[in-house]
A and B are shown apart, each in its own frame.
Chain A
């Protein structure tokens, strides 16, 4: 509408106020978004194509004989992990890692931000420095440790290592630091202990930060590839990224089945993002990310 209005003159003053740059921005974004989404559309249409139509030149976007066969195979195959089972595993692992991460990072972040204790600066320095330790440094030893206690192919093998990440502690500390001091001072005068102040006053105030950290953690865990690839050798324990990579053959890729699996795996996340995107961005905004 704005585009139409723009060309007119004084007759429609209100529409005139839509600046040309806005129109150009929207048009540019629309073009870019179309290109951006094309690979996703490609995944979507491929999932509905029968095998002979998939590798085909000239390229045809729409399936001539649409089929649900690929979805059936992706869900029921006995070749490798079933997509349904992998979905369950990914959900359990990502949810557990998110919950535990929130718990340990919020408590540690609070202690480092608002409580005085000997060794505080040292602990914080070590924890922050560990952000720079790349995961592969712990890859081989973690494998051997989990092998030793017989925890390969278990959920805890997938969940626990992530809890050691400093990212969330850092984030939570920043946010607790930003809370006004007077609130806790008032509570202390009323005789509340440090734990009570944390649980009753500070924690409710950082809900948006918890939401943001939760989303970050969930997505990272959901997309984690390297560690599950190494720690899991059984079909029934595979997470989605590994299970989907197992659908790829050495000599021949059955694109239809792979794409059907991909679509099934992505749909719930896509739905969640569209419903919750405002909260996600605002949650992140509120954490401040500032020093």
Chain B
């Protein structure tokens, strides 16, 4: 390097580099905003704005075709919270969540672990367990409702052939929810299975081999290698499943219409019926916000529970 060149470079570098860096940063920020813009437009337009609008509605006496909604304060929340039907539906929803979420973790996880091995006809099995998910919720519901019918359903018929007392599934309040859970597990277990299979494929094989050399096998392998390394997938599936379970609607709407005797009526059905059947839209919006707060509590508890253990 000539002395002159060295002087030149030393002279320009601090300010020029700073300016160049600022330009790059500006360019990068502009690019970032441009890339974010389409999503944020959708996010604000179809998530933030409607949520805020819904919150506003829930403080008014808005009616379809009504000329000017009045501000009614907490009146709609009082209406919802003092409605015995709302309390019933919250209870039912929590029961559904507590029954379906564990089943939709354990069953798919077991299937995924089994089908992650080298097995004959593995592709067929994966397909078989996933297959119900390709059906519409209406069909899943009507098919199970029929199979479980105490008078002419196949399940009832075969139980009786075997000389067993056939429980009147759908017509008993406790079993009706179990029937909805059963249909839901059958329908969506394959989806969660795929998520778990994906998680399992991320676990490096050498970890298993190392554990095997240490003498671990079967159950211990599962507990000491699979389960800990699957934790991120697990957290993800649980949260997604929890939120999906809280929003259960199609199954009960088609299968039981909320019956027998409100035993399977869920919160989203309450929101739907209040807002769109009875056309009390602002009360429906208020009920939805109450549900949101309930989900928030559940989800935060879930995060807290899991983040304490996550090793990633």
Residues in B with CB closer than 8 Å to A277 are 123, 126-127, 130
Task: State A248–B195 Cα separation when bound (angstroms).
Answer: 33
Count chain B residues whose beta carbon lies closer than 8 angstroms to a beta carbon of A: 98
One digit per residue, 1 when the CB lies within 8 angstroms of any chain A CB and 0 when it does not, for chain B 227-264 equals 00000110110011001001101100110000000000
Q: Are B198 and A140 touching (Cβ within 8 A)?
A: no
Q: Are B28 and A289 touching (Cβ within 8 A)?
A: no
Q: Are B131 and A270 touching (Cβ within 8 A)?
A: yes
Q: Are A273 and B130 touching (Cβ within 8 A)?
A: yes
10 closest Cβ pairs, A-B complex? A284-B198, A108-B39, A194-B31, A225-B250, A285-B201, A163-B42, A117-B29, A269-B134, A141-B50, A164-B46
Residues in B with CB closer than 8 Å to A291 are 232, 235, 310, 312
Task: State A290–B272 Cα separation when bound (angstroms).
Answer: 36
Closest to A162 in B: B46
Q: Are B32 and A266 touching (Cβ within 8 A)?
A: no
Besides A117-B28, A140-B281, A225-B249, 12 more A-B contacts (Cβ < 8 Å) are A2-B120, A42-B143, A42-B147, A111-B31, A145-B53, A244-B138, A253-B146, A266-B134, A266-B139, A270-B131, A286-B198, A290-B232
B153 to chain A, nearest CB (A): 9
Task: State A191–B15 Cα separation when bound (angstroms).
Answer: 20
Residues in A with CB closer than 8 Å to B157 are 57-59
Q: Are A169 and B39 touching (Cβ within 8 A)?
A: yes
- Could you say which of A8-16, A62-70, A125-133 contacts chain B? A125-133
User: Is residue B78 contacting chain A, with contact meaning CB distance below 8 A?
Assistant: no
Q: A: which residues have CB within 8 A of B?
A: 2, 21-22, 25-26, 28-30, 33, 36-37, 39-40, 42-43, 55, 57-59, 103-105, 107-108, 110-112, 115-118, 120, 123, 127, 130-145, 160-161, 163-164, 166-167, 169, 193-195, 198, 212, 219, 223, 225-226, 230, 240-242, 244-245, 248, 253, 255, 258-259, 262, 265-266, 269-270, 273-274, 277-278, 280-282, 284-291
Task: State A21–B47 Cα separation when bound (angstroms).
Answer: 50
Given contacts A134-B247, A273-B130, A290-B312, contact A285 B31 (CB under 8 A): no
One digit per residue, 1 when the CB lies within 8 angstroms of any chain A CB and 0 when it does not, for chain B 91-135 equals 000000000000000000000001101011101111111111111
